[in-house]
């Protein structure tokens, strides 16, 4: 008998509360997966013709996946608002503005891979509102350090579509079984290997990295002997790191003094998962999950991986 996402409800009070929202994420993921597979025939590849709040050219699929995700969060009835990479402001779910939970999301991660049919993903984290339920949720409700999030996960749209998530009791992977069209447990208890794997970074920027990161990386390569893999999609690079070991990093550089990756919907969910899998999640000034967010779209350097690799890089 296959194990489905219902198993999440067996993981304590957090699991019971998170299951319907994570099932909503899974419904969005199934729709997005189908959309990606038929994208070329539906003329939804390419640029949407607008910039997002990040100052980046939005892909048509960035916009479409953001709407799909928001509608599935709304359909759960448990989410009062969504903070999205693709929306400058917090998106309040009007009918459920008194609900307990907010979801932060990067609806389509690695979208530069879309036109080369590379792996892309969705990244999410779930936080409990800090404002009274009778008030309208606001951005402040999202600005909580990662140590306070209740759940996080990602969907990897690769050869398989896989949802990797945690409600604070370790990390599990559920893959869509084409035979049943359901997410079924495929990777129970994901733990990052202590040794081996790869380092994963865009070394094209190494000459402008800040904080002596170039020499630090050189030392880490000598000390660990790790090979290098880089897809350019955080979800794919992080998934490989969790399963094979090593480290994923996106340092600050002269042109990006806070790095490129966003704290609330990339660094915190991935940092939460990395720690739940037995690894370390560091930024320039310490643990990612201790950073106090100042804004919905702030960026942060990240160093996420096995303790030996992270220590070798940052010691
Ligand atoms: P997004 O597509 O959501 O903007 O994220 C892209 C991010 C992340 O997926 C990846 O790790 C990083 O951009 C790659 O950046 P570079 O192309 O600068 O290496
Ligand atoms: Mn992203
Ligand atoms: Mn994105």
Domains contained in the chain, CATH given: 5-187 (3.30.540.10), 198-314 (3.40.190.80)
C-alpha–C-alpha distance, residues 221 and 199, integer Å: 8
Rounded to the nearest angstrom, the gap between the alpha carbon of residue 297 and the centroid of all alpha carbons in its chain is: 14
Average pLDDT over residues 281-290: 97
Residue 52 banded pLDDT, cuts 50, 70, 90? confident
Atom of ligand 1 nearest to the CA of 85: 3
Look at the block and give the residue holding tokens 């320039």. Answer: 284
pLDDT tens, residue by residue, 183-212: 999 999 999 999 999 999 999 999 999 999
User: Does the beta carbon of 57 lie inside 6 Å of ligand 1?
Assistant: no
Q: The dihedral of CA 197, 202, 208, 210: what is its sign?
A: negative
User: Does the beta carbon of 206 lie inside 6 Å of ligand 1?
Assistant: no
User: Does the beta carbon of 65 lie inside 6 Å of ligand 1?
Assistant: no
User: Does the beta carbon of 202 lie inside 6 Å of ligand 1?
Assistant: yes
For the cut 80, the answer to whether the pLDDT of residue 232 exceeds it is: yes
Residue 150 banded pLDDT, cuts 50, 70, 90? very high
pLDDT tens, residue by residue, 154-174: 999 999 999 999 999 999 999
Average pLDDT over residues 278-299: 97
Provide the residues around ligand 3 (an ion) whose CB is within 5 A.
85, 106, 108-109
User: Does the beta carbon of 253 lie inside 6 Å of ligand 1?
Assistant: no
Query: Of 170, 158, 165, 313, nearest to 250 (Cα)?
Result: 313
Give pLDDT, residue 296: 98
- Which position has the higher pLDDT, 12 or 170? 170
Predicted TM-score of the model (pTM): 0.98
Average pLDDT over residues 16-41: 97
Look at the block and give the residue holding tokens 């929306």. Answer: 87
User: Does the beta carbon of 234 lie inside 6 Å of ligand 1?
Assistant: yes
Ligand 1 pocket test: which of 250, 256, 264, 269 has the largest number of ligand atoms within 8 Å of its C-beta?
Answer: 250
CB 19 within 8 A of CB 26: no
Distance, CA 235 to ligand 2 centroid (Å)? Answer: 8
For the cut 80, the answer to whether the pLDDT of residue 1 exceeds it is: no
Long-range contact pairs involving 309-313 (C-beta distance under 8 Å, separation at least 24): 309/197, 309/199, 309/220, 309/224, 309/226, 309/245, 309/246, 309/247, 310/247, 310/279, 310/280, 310/282, 311/280, 312/219, 312/220, 312/223, 312/224, 313/216, 313/217, 313/219, 313/220, 313/247, 313/249
User: Does the beta carbon of 33 lie inside 6 Å of ligand 1?
Assistant: no
Average pLDDT over residues 262-280: 98
């Amino acid at each position: 008998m296959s194990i489905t996402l219902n198993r999440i409800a067996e993981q304590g009070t957090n699991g019971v509360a998170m299951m319907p929202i994570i099932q909503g994420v899974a419904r969005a993921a199934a729709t997005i997966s189908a959309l990606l597979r038929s994208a070329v025939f539906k003329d939804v590849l390419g640029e949407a013709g607008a910039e997002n709040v990040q100052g980046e050219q939005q892909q048509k699929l960035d916009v479409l996946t953001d709407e799909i995700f928001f509608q599935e969060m709304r359909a759960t009835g448990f989410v009062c608002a969504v903070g999205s990479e693709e929306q400058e402001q917090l998106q309040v779910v009007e009918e459920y503005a008194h609900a307990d939970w907010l979801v932060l999301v990067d609806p389509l991660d690695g979208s530069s891979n879309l036109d080369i049919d590379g792996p892309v993903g969705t990244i999410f984290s779930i936080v409990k509102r800090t404002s009274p339920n009778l008030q309208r949720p606001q951005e402040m409700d999202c600005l909580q350090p990662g140590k306070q999030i209740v759940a996080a996960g990602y969907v990897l749209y690769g050869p398989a579509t896989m949802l990797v998530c945690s409600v604070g009791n370790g990390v599990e992977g559920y893959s869509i079984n084409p035979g049943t069209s359901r997410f079924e447990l495929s990777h129970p208890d994901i733990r990052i290997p202590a040794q081996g794997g790869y380092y994963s970074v865009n070394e094209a920027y190494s000459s402008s990295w800040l904080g002596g990161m170039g020499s630090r990386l050189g030392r880490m390569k000598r000390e660990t002997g790790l090979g290098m893999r880089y897809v350019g999609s955080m979800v794919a690079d992080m998934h490989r790191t969790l399963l094979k070991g090593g480290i994923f990093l996106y340092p600050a550089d002269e042109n990006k003094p806070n790095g490129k990756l966003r704290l609330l919907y990339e660094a915190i969910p991935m940092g939460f998962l990395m720690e739940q899998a037995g690894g370390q999640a560091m930024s320039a000034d310490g643990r990612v999950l201790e950073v106090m967010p100042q804004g919905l779209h702030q960026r942060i350097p990240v160093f996420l991986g096995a303790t030996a690799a992270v220590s070798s890089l940052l010691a």
